[in-house]
Amino acid sequence: MPNYIRTHTAGATYFFTVTLRDRGARYLVDHVADLRACMADVKKRHPFEIDAMVVLPEHIHALWTLPTEDGDFSRRWMLLKQAFTRRLQAGGVLDRDAAEERRKGQRSLWQDRFWEHQIRDDDDFARHVDYIHFNPVKHGWVMRARDWPYSSLHRYVREKRLPADWGISAAIEEHFGE
């Protein structure tokens, strides 16, 4: 098994991509209230700031800033994944035998790993915020970023950090000119 090297820098800001194993699933948006409740519980026990976030049907992009004395983002993601899975099992959405299947090397709700990138500077931060907020447009879920309900873009607009018309898809299908 590969030995993944992660920095775990206390107080740092990180970009994450966390994905469900089934890329066709809709658990995250269909049960977004459960996801939010699990996130709030993890944040209460292991604080961090959510700088930007988007929840899509089968994956999450997030920008988190960790406390100055703590760099353990892996524990936070593990706890969130476990809590959300248990909550869906308790609600009858997922089969309770999923944990046993996982021990046998079979399926689980989440992909085993996640993507993480430590933010280097203000430009890197801004690029990742834009990436997060534009992701529903990129994946074809909406034509305008503001139309996706599960995005921190709405907070950015309320706080006047971004204009309400930010992130409109303007793809041109035809070739014009020469």
82-130 per-position pLDDT tens digit: 999 999 999 999 886 655 555 544 458 999 889 999 999 999 999 999 9
Each residue's pLDDT tens digit, 143-160:
999 999 999 999 999 999
pLDDT at 100: 54
Which residue segments constitute the domains of the chain, with CATH numbers given?
13-120 (3.30.70.1290)
Rounded distance, CA 111 to CA 132, Å?
20
Q: Is pLDDT above 80 for 178?
A: no
pTM score of the predicted model: 0.86
pLDDT at 7: 75
138 contacts 149 by C-beta, under 8 angstroms = no
Measured in whole angstroms, the distance separating CA 154 from the mean position of its chain's CA atoms is 16
Parallel/antiparallel/unpaired status of strands 13-19 and 59-65: antiparallel
Q: Is pLDDT above 70 for 170?
A: no
40 contacts 75 by C-beta, under 8 angstroms = no
Percent residues over pLDDT 70 in the chain: 84
The pLDDT confidence band at residue 177, using thresholds 50, 70 and 90, is very low
Average pLDDT over residues 21-32: 96
Find the largest Cα–Cα distance for the chain. 61
H-run or E-run covering 157: helix 153-158
Q: Is 14 a catalytic residue?
A: no
The token pair that represents 107 in the structure block: 């399926």
The token pair that represents 41 in the structure block: 């519980």
Q: Mean of the per-residue pLDDT values for the chain?
A: 88
